[in-house]
Homo-oligomer: A and B are copies of this chain.
Amino acid sequence: MRNSKLYKGSLNTIILKLLEEKGKMYGYEITQKVKEITKDELRVTEGALYPALHKLEAEGFLEVEVAKVDNRIRKYYKLTEAGEKETVNRLLALEDFIRNMQQLVNPKWSLE
């Protein structure tokens, strides 16, 4: 990731959401897509990404399909059924988190 420590813990959610949206993606593609969407403000480093993908796979949330394109290996990941459920939960948790952070940071409560 880039600069901010805030991103800690959100990588899995990002991966799951991208896969939900795109159907299947390979690792390098994910790094590029995040760069593109966030206009280079957020970079998923490979040192964080690959272990995260392997863990999500080990937990049964992702499955892999290996392909060979231009003489190079690609590992396409897609959500399992459990992964789809997990994605829903993670997105709900993200919404809660953002709502809570906004409540903490927007000073409405200071008028109490």
Contact = CB atoms under 8 A, between A and B. Distances in A.
Interface of A: 3-10, 12-14, 17-18, 21-22, 34, 36-38, 41-42, 91, 93-94, 96-98, 100-105, 107, 109-110
Interface secondary structure of A, over-half rule = helix
Nearest to A109: B37
B97 A6 contact: yes
Of A8, A94, A104, A110, most buried by chain B (CB within 10 Å of CB) is: A104
A10 B101 contact: yes
Contact of A110 (B22, B34, B97, B104): B22
A19 B110 CA distance: 11
Contacts of A94: 6, 101, 105
Top 4 nearest A-B pairs (CB, nearest first) are A5-B9, A8-B8, A6-B97, A8-B9
